[in-house]
């Protein structure tokens, strides 16, 4: 069984952002131009029965939702559903 993987997720600065009308799913189509900057987050994904589970550390960790509204957790669930697997993952 895998012990997990850690990746650096680069930050970006939006220099232009156009927001379209709301779609039926509540999201909006976006068109943007962005520049990568020299900052990043480190994200670790490890197996976790009963997941998805999200934890966060750092100066602004209290501002990150740790429930089902977290976009990373939602992406993990969508990916798991797409491939017929449980979303048994811990994201930190």
Q: pLDDT by residue (tens digit) across 26-38?
A: 999 999 999 989 9
pLDDT at residue 1, rounded to an integer = 55
Strands annotated E in 1-88: 5-22, 28-47, 53-54
Examine the pLDDT at 2 and tell me if it is beyond 60. yes
Average pLDDT of span 60-83: 92
Q: pLDDT by residue (tens digit) across 52-62?
A: 999 999 889 99
Interstrand relation of 53-54 and 5-22 (parallel, antiparallel or unpaired): unpaired
| Ranges of each domain in the chain | 5-91
Q: What 3-state DSSP class applies to 38?
A: strand
From 3.30.70.270, 3.30.70.100, 3.30.230.10, 3.30.230.70, which CATH number describes the 5-91 domain?
3.30.230.10
Q: How confident is the model at residue 3 (pLDDT cuts 50, 70, 90)?
A: confident
The token duo for 71 is: 């976009």
Nearest C-alpha neighbor of 44 from the set 10, 68, 8: 8
């Amino acid at each position: 069984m895998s012990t997990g993987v850690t990746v650096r997720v680069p930050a970006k600065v939006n220099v232009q952002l156009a927001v379209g009308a709301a779609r039926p799913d509540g999201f909006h189509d976006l068109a943007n131009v962005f520049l990568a900057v020299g900052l990043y987050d480190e994200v670790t994904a490890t197996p976790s029965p009963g997941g998805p589970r999200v934890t966060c550390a750092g100066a602004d960790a209290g501002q990150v939702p740790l429930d089902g509204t977290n976009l990373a957790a939602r992406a993990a669930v969508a990916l798991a559903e797409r491939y017929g697997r449980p979303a048994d993952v811990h994201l930190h």
